[in-house]
Chains A and B, each alone.
Chain A
Amino acid sequence: MAKKKQILFPVLFMVVLTAIFTFVLATINEVTTDIISEQQELSIQKSIFYTFNISLEGLSDQEIQDKFEASFEKTKVNDRTYYTYTKENKVQGYAVQISGKGLWGTITGHVAFSPDHEKILGLNFISHSETPGLGGRIDEDEFKDQFRSITLDREPYFSYGTDIGGNVDAITGATLTSLAVRDILNGEIPKILEEAKKEGFYEGN
């Protein structure tokens, strides 16, 4: 004769087991929250240093954080965080986060511009889901370093070598990702600059 299925014991068993595991996970989560948010903060800081072309070679994580605290001021205005870079009491530029649609997913990065809004100082990506080896090569310095000190005296700001008057080179074999990056920059930078000007992150005439 088949045994009748128990009900109470399985339910209790599951409840107790779930409670134990939830407790364990919650504890681990609590312990590591600070470390995780610190790591995320650190990756943002490294990215911003990169946009200003400041070498961090040989610095420990702690030294990078201290250096960041010393040279950058973080201001949050309308959901956008401005990082003001000051050196010798003089504003050297501003960096903000930039993001937009890539080929496969959102591309997020940082862009730095000069105090007079005339130049883009640098560009860096912190997350994207482009194809490794193809679009993923936007992560390579060779591509990103092209965006250093580009004067914004024309519309659109960026175009690739094959276009008339192109000022940067696209990635061979990753045309769609390259175009996506160009469109994000050309679309977002004017908006960012306009807002920055309004909010006072601007020094010039």
Chain B
Amino acid sequence: MKAIKEIFIKGVIKDNPIFRQILGICSALAVTNLMMNSLVMGLGLMFVTGLSSFTVSMIRKFTPKHIRMMVQTLIISAFVIILDIFLKAYLPDMSKALGPYVGLIITNCIIMGRCEAYAQNNTPILSFFDGVTMGLGYTMILLFIAFFRELLGFGTVFGFQVMPESFTPWTLMIMPPGAFFMLGIVIWISKNLFKNDEGGVTNG
């Protein structure tokens, strides 16, 4: 139980993939113009990271060390394809909105990073939990960024109009530069909010 709690705090705050490890930035920049897209992307990533870590951990005792990366890539891509098929079959609108980004989850560094850093040396259940938590940390930041981008760029939250009619949308926020600004601000805030308690040099 203690281990799980520790994983949780690490995944969401201390080792948050986005603002601490600066991993998975590409998709974080790309899909955060709408909250709905971010949510589905985040759930997709949680699914893939969790199950990939679980599978990698399951076969870690048999996997020859020097081909482990190849094995991890195979496992990750299999889960991503499953996710892609699922979205196409049951959530076609979402599949259309996310476009190529679902396939690109394969290249999301968070997943392989967790497989290498955690799943390789831990039990399947803990690895699964670690993967899901890392995905959760990612999803939370994505939703945070998307909230401001969608609110200022479209005047909506999850598609519901919240800004008054007279509000002029800041189109810049939904274009790529808006993502960079928001991400920079998030990293800046988090650096000041969660001081590095190890006292060492931060490598963000």
Contact = CB atoms under 8 A, between A and B. Distances in A.
B78 A25 contact: yes
A13 B85 CA distance: 27
B74 A43 contact: no
Contact of A21 (B63, B78, B86): B78
Contacts of A39: 88-89, 92
B141 interface: no
B85 A14 contact: no
A69 B81 CA distance: 33
Given A36-B88, A39-B88, A127-B96, A21 B154 contact: no
A129 to B, nearest CB: 7
A32 B59 CA distance: 28
A131 interface: yes
Chain B binding surface, main DSSP class: helix
Given A10-B67, A21-B74, A36-B85, A132 B174 contact: yes
Contacts of B62: 13
A32 B71 contact: no
A133 B78 contact: no
B9 interface: no
B81 A25 contact: yes
A26 to B, nearest CB: 10
B75 A21 contact: yes
Interface residues of A, number: 26
B78 A24 contact: yes
Contacts of A28: 82, 85
Interface string B28-45: 000001100000000000
B153 A133 contact: yes
A43 B92 contact: yes
Contacts of A14: 67, 70-71, 74
B74 A133 contact: no
A127 B169 CA distance: 24
B82 to A, nearest CB: 6
Interface string B51-70: 00000000100111011001
Contacts of A133: 33, 153-154, 169, 171, 174-175
Contacts of A173: 171
B188 to A, nearest CB: 26
Contacts of A40: 92
A129 B85 contact: no
B182 to A, nearest CB: 15
A196 B198 CA distance: 73
Contacts of A75: none
